[in-house]
Structure 1
Amino acid sequence: MLRIDRQQAMAYRVAAHGLHRRDRDPAALAVLDLGVQDDARRDTADLAVLARLGDHPQPPLADDDRFVLAWSHRGAPHYHRAADFRSLVPALLPWDEADAAARLSWQRRDVAAAGMPADEAVRTAAAALRKVVRRTMTKGAASEAVTKAIPEGLSRWCRGCQATHIHDQLMRLATPLAGVALEPGAFPATLVPLRPRPGLPARPDTHAATAVVSTYLRLHGPATATEAAGFVGSTKTTVSKTMWPDDLVEVSVDGRRCAIPADALPVLENPPEPDVVRLLPPRDPLVQARDRALLVPDPAHRKEVWRILGNPGTILADGEIAGLWRSRKSGSRMELTLTELLPLSARARAAAEAEADRLREARGLTSLRLTWA
């Protein structure tokens, strides 16, 4: 068994995420193998791509028809390669009642209120959405229409909307299964039927589901089944029994038993030096790993990186999550504040400031006001 320390694992991840070099084409980025989570109001997906690309003009992902935006992993919006998305959809279908309940975060009382097992609820909602969403519709319009088409037990009173409508997470999980994606850049969230429309999956696809876990381990490894399950939104038992790849090797990371695809072992054994500085957006793929203590060992720093609301961007410097950044727009100026979590060298600070100017340019702003807090 290969034994490595945390620093070697971090160096591997920097390389696996394509942060150690600059690519030219966003479609070639390894992180798109799994998908890049988006928060359109904060340009998170575009900024994650920017951190991995060279200084070549690129259209926003929303304007590039090679990508599709959809509720996928954990019901969160992710950009995927359009060519890959259809094969991903069968991997999103829950395996059984326990798996569906985990993905929905349902307790026994929720199942009782639904009047049916959780996996049946997902399939029922997906079938109804497939019938309802035949054209582009806002989330609100689609929710209203599908609420009328599903059993009463699958709806909930929503205090925020002051209305009864389909359980939000149920709608998110069912939408891709119904052959429906999201319209990039649209406010409010807007649903778009895929053309041609794929059929509703009859059962989970073992190959597709295993590929998701394998890709997670390749990008975020070495990792455990529990961590992979956290990303998928399922349980360790489901991942271990139905989605765990065969072509893995065991690795010890500071004494913790983990796994990684066998063909990733050469890079793990001798990763490139992670001597780069990048400004990563909130929800960047690198910080989506479920072993947060490996990414950020200091508990106080973890509370700053992963907040309940309003996560900051992070400064990646020499293989460490070494700082935070926040920005706001003031007219045509971007005002950006950087905060050290770990001491940064003069070289790293200068590189971070250069990355800040790339953010300014990507957002089409004319000036930058930068402050170190």
Structure 2
Amino acid sequence: MLEVDRAQVMAYRIAVQGLHREEKDAAKLAVFDLGVQDSSRDTAVHALVARLAAPITGEAFTQDERFALVWSHRGAQHFHRREDLPELTRSLVPIDEADAMARMGWNRKMVEAAAIPAVETLFIAARAMRKAIPKPTSKGDASTAVTKLIPEGLTYYCRGCQVVHILEQLFRVSSLHGGIRLEPDATPAVLAPLEGRKPVSTKPDLAAATAVVRRYLHVNGPGTRGDAAGFAGTTAGTVKHTWPDDLAEVRVEGKPAFLPQERVSELENPPEPDLVRLLPSWDPLLQARDRAILVPDRARQKEVWRMLGNPGVVLADGEIAGIWRAKAVGRKRLDFDISPFEALPPAARAAAGDEAERIATARGFAEVRVTWS
């Protein structure tokens, strides 16, 4: 059995996720096999800046018709290849009640109180979304329209808006089943019907769900059932039913973990991760659930993964070596504040400055200022 340490795992993930910057076409990046999470801070564009050899602009990517922005894994918004959406949607159909309830996330207690089975709840909301959103609609208006079509128990009073809304997590996890996408670059959020959407399907697809687990173990492996469940937003017990049968067991720091069999040689001999990248919060590299592999020090884990407002991270020579934040100053300048965990050599600092310039260019800023904390 192959035994590896965390440095070898990091080198494997850096390579398989395209951080050596050898690919010019975003659609060919392995990270899109799972989707690339996005936020109002252009995190998906930043993730591509770190990976693509060719220059990229935010507008060019978000307007690329090969991709769609949807709420998918864990109810978080991700960019996916459009051609992958049918299988993705099937993979998100709960296989049983426990799976459905787990996907309700922080709304679980409210769904339980509604006394409607979680699977039924999901598709009540999905059908309501399909009916209520026949054209591009602001999120607020869409929520109001959907709320009128669902049982009262699946709604809540929002103090900020001072109106009654559909439960937020339910709104998100039901949207793709209802054939709904998000408009890129829209603030506030705008929802729209997916082009060529199919009727709502309630039939679980174990093969599609298994493919998600396998892709997770490819991109963020080696990993465990618990790791894959955490990414998908379900339970380890559910993943027992969708666990691929062509995995190789390896040991990471003495603990068992799994990887697709054909990837073992890549784990055994990954290329040297001698590179510097500024990765955004929610970057695919940070989506692995074994955070102790990514950042062994618990105090530093708290700096990287916060309750609110996660920073970006500095990747240097195979390690997460610090954090960074950026702030627009007017329309021309983007200011970066970089805080390394330990002193970085001059060459790494210079490379980080170059990465800041790439991000600024992608976001349309002509000037960059970098400060080191």
TM-score, with structure 1 as normaliser: 0.96
**Structure 2 unmatched ranges of 5 or more:** none
CA–CA separation in structure 1 for the residues paired with 2:61 and 2:229: 28
Structure-2 residue corresponding to 1:251 = 250
CA–CA separation in structure 2 for the residues paired with 1:351 and 1:208: 40
Given that residues 322 and 343 in structure 1 are in contact (C-alpha distance below 8 angstroms), is that contact kept between their aligned partners in structure 2?
A: no
Structure-2 residue corresponding to 1:282 = 281
Structure-2 residue corresponding to 1:38 = 38
**Structure 1 unmatched ranges of 5 or more:** none
Describe the shift of the 1:348–1:91 C-alpha distance in structure 2 as closer, same or farther (beyond 3 A): same
CA–CA separation in structure 2 for the residues paired with 1:251 and 1:342: 31
CA–CA separation in structure 2 for the residues paired with 1:86 and 1:161: 34
Structure-2 residue corresponding to 1:147 = 147
Which letter maps to 1:230?
G
Structure-2 residue corresponding to 1:19 = 19
Structure-1 residue corresponding to 2:117 = 117
Instruction: Give the Å deviation of 1:95.
Output: 1.5
CA–CA separation in structure 1 for the residues paired with 2:214 and 2:29: 16
CA–CA separation in structure 2 for the residues paired with 1:232 and 1:21: 27
Describe the shift of the 1:52–1:107 C-alpha distance in structure 2 as closer, same or farther (beyond 3 A): closer
Which letter maps to 2:372?
W
Structure-2 residue corresponding to 1:264 = 263
> Which stretch has the larger CA shift, 74-83 or 162-171?
162-171
Instruction: Give the Å deviation of 1:108.
Output: 7.5
> Which stretch has the larger CA shift, 250-259 or 344-353?
344-353
Cα deviation code 1:108-149 (max 9, x no counterpart): 753443121111110111112122221111111111111111
Describe the shift of the 1:60–1:309 C-alpha distance in structure 2 as closer, same or farther (beyond 3 A): farther
CA–CA separation in structure 1 for the residues paired with 2:347 and 2:305: 27
Q: Are 1:28 and 2:56 an aligned pair?
A: no
CA–CA separation in structure 1 for the residues paired with 2:314 and 2:326: 13
Instruction: Give the Å deviation of 1:57.
Output: 4.3
Structure-2 residue corresponding to 1:351 = 351
Given that residues 91 and 205 in structure 1 are in contact (C-alpha distance below 8 angstroms), is that contact kept between their aligned partners in structure 2?
A: yes
> Which stretch has the larger CA shift, 288-297 or 105-114?
105-114
Which letter maps to 1:371?
T
Instruction: Map 1:1-373; keep pairs closer than 5 Å.
Output: 1-39=1-39, 41-58=40-57, 59-105=59-105, 109-240=109-240, 242-331=241-330, 332-373=332-373
Cα deviation code 1:331-363 (max 9, x no counterpart): 211111111113322221111111111112222
Cα deviation code 1:154-190 (max 9, x no counterpart): 1112222222121110010111001111111111211
Given that residues 20 and 272 in structure 1 are in contact (C-alpha distance below 8 angstroms), is that contact kept between their aligned partners in structure 2?
A: no
CA–CA separation in structure 2 for the residues paired with 1:55 and 1:112: 49
Given that residues 183 and 191 in structure 1 are in contact (C-alpha distance below 8 angstroms), is that contact kept between their aligned partners in structure 2?
A: yes
CA–CA separation in structure 1 for the residues paired with 2:252 and 2:269: 15
Given that residues 102 and 108 in structure 2 are in contact (C-alpha distance below 8 angstroms), is that contact kept between their aligned partners in structure 1?
A: no
Describe the shift of the 1:10–1:105 C-alpha distance in structure 2 as closer, same or farther (beyond 3 A): same
Instruction: Give the Å deviation of 1:61.
Output: 2.4
CA–CA separation in structure 2 for the residues paired with 1:221 and 1:185: 32
CA–CA separation in structure 1 for the residues paired with 2:142 and 2:21: 42
Instruction: Give the Å deviation of 1:74.
Output: 0.4
Which letter maps to 1:172?
R
CA–CA separation in structure 1 for the residues paired with 2:347 and 2:106: 49
Given that residues 48 and 281 in structure 1 are in contact (C-alpha distance below 8 angstroms), is that contact kept between their aligned partners in structure 2?
A: yes
Name the SS of the counterpart of 2:278 in structure 1.
Answer: strand
Instruction: Give the Å deviation of 1:48.
Output: 0.3
CA–CA separation in structure 1 for the residues paired with 2:328 and 2:188: 21
Instruction: Give the Å deviation of 1:106.
Output: 6.1
CA–CA separation in structure 2 for the residues paired with 1:117 and 1:282: 35
Given that residues 324 and 340 in structure 1 are in contact (C-alpha distance below 8 angstroms), is that contact kept between their aligned partners in structure 2?
A: yes
TM-score, with structure 2 as normaliser: 0.96
> Which stretch has the larger CA shift, 329-338 or 11-20?
329-338
Name the SS of the counterpart of 1:217 in structure 2.
Answer: helix
CA RMSD of aligned residues (A): 1.4
Describe the shift of the 1:245–1:305 C-alpha distance in structure 2 as closer, same or farther (beyond 3 A): same
Which letter maps to 1:179?
G
Which letter maps to 1:288?
Q
Which letter maps to 1:296?
V
Instruction: Give the Å deviation of 1:202.
Output: 2.4
Name the SS of the counterpart of 1:238 in structure 2.
Answer: helix
Q: 4+ residue stretches of structure 1 with deviation over 4 A?
A: 106-109
Given that residues 49 and 55 in structure 2 are in contact (C-alpha distance below 8 angstroms), is that contact kept between their aligned partners in structure 1?
A: no
Query: What is the percent sequence identity of the aligned residues?
Result: 54
Which letter maps to 2:156?
R
Which letter maps to 1:86?
P
Which letter maps to 2:48?
V
